[in-house]
Amino acid sequence: MAARRLTYPTDLTDEEWHILEPLLPPEKAGGRPRTYPIREGINGSQDILRGGCAWRLRPHDWPPRPTASQTWRAWRQEGTWLRIHEQRRDAVRTRMGRHPQPSAAIIDAQTVKTADKGGSTATMARRNSTAASAMASWRRRVSCGVSSAMPPI
């Protein structure tokens, strides 16, 4: 009998697993059987999402990183995660006595001030030093053919 690993705070509870398990795609027919329990893969993914660590920094008692990340990506591309989200959202809204589908959405846009002053003052270009202004003035005169004399050094 294999030793059972210690649980992590992000692991699915038995109740959560019983809700989620029927929503997951079945094992593909004709392929190699799963080597690792799918619940352990989801537990590992939960830890990545909740803890914010990189796939390569996961604890060693979960399925290997390529297995977990490939499953995660495949389910994202197949729409499994979106389907689970929509089904759970509808169930929660129904339990709350609301219509399963939301009728409105709120888009929040934060306004950021660019400066204390408004108008053209806030968008004026910075001023150069007097030496830079003199050189710019000389460059304009030389390039326009106004003066071909070099300024004194």
Q: Among residues 51, 55, 79, which one has the least CA distance to residue 68?
A: 55
d(C-alpha 50, C-alpha 39), whole Å: 16
When comparing pLDDT for 26 and 115, which is higher?
A: 26
**Cα 1 vs. chain centroid, distance in angstroms?**
40
Element (H, E) at 134: helix 130-143
- Residue-wise pLDDT for 67-122, tens only, equals 878 888 888 999 999 999 999 999 999 999 999 888 887 777 776 666 665 555 55
pTM of the model: 0.56
Between the alpha carbon of residue 89 and those of residues 84, 99, 104, 130, 140, the distances in Å are: 8, 11, 14, 65, 66
Q: Among residues 129, 71, 95, 123, which one has the least CA distance to residue 19?
A: 95
Task: Mark residue 27 as left, alpha or beta (left: phi above 0; alpha: psi -120 to 50; beta: remaining).
Answer: beta
- The least confident of 4-18, 123-137, 138-152 is 138-152
| pLDDT beyond 90 at 150 | no
pLDDT score, position 92: 93
| pLDDT beyond 80 at 9 | yes
- Residue-wise pLDDT for 27-80, tens only, equals 888 878 888 888 888 887 787 777 777 777 777 777 887 887 888 888 899 999
d(C-alpha 139, C-alpha 20), whole Å: 72
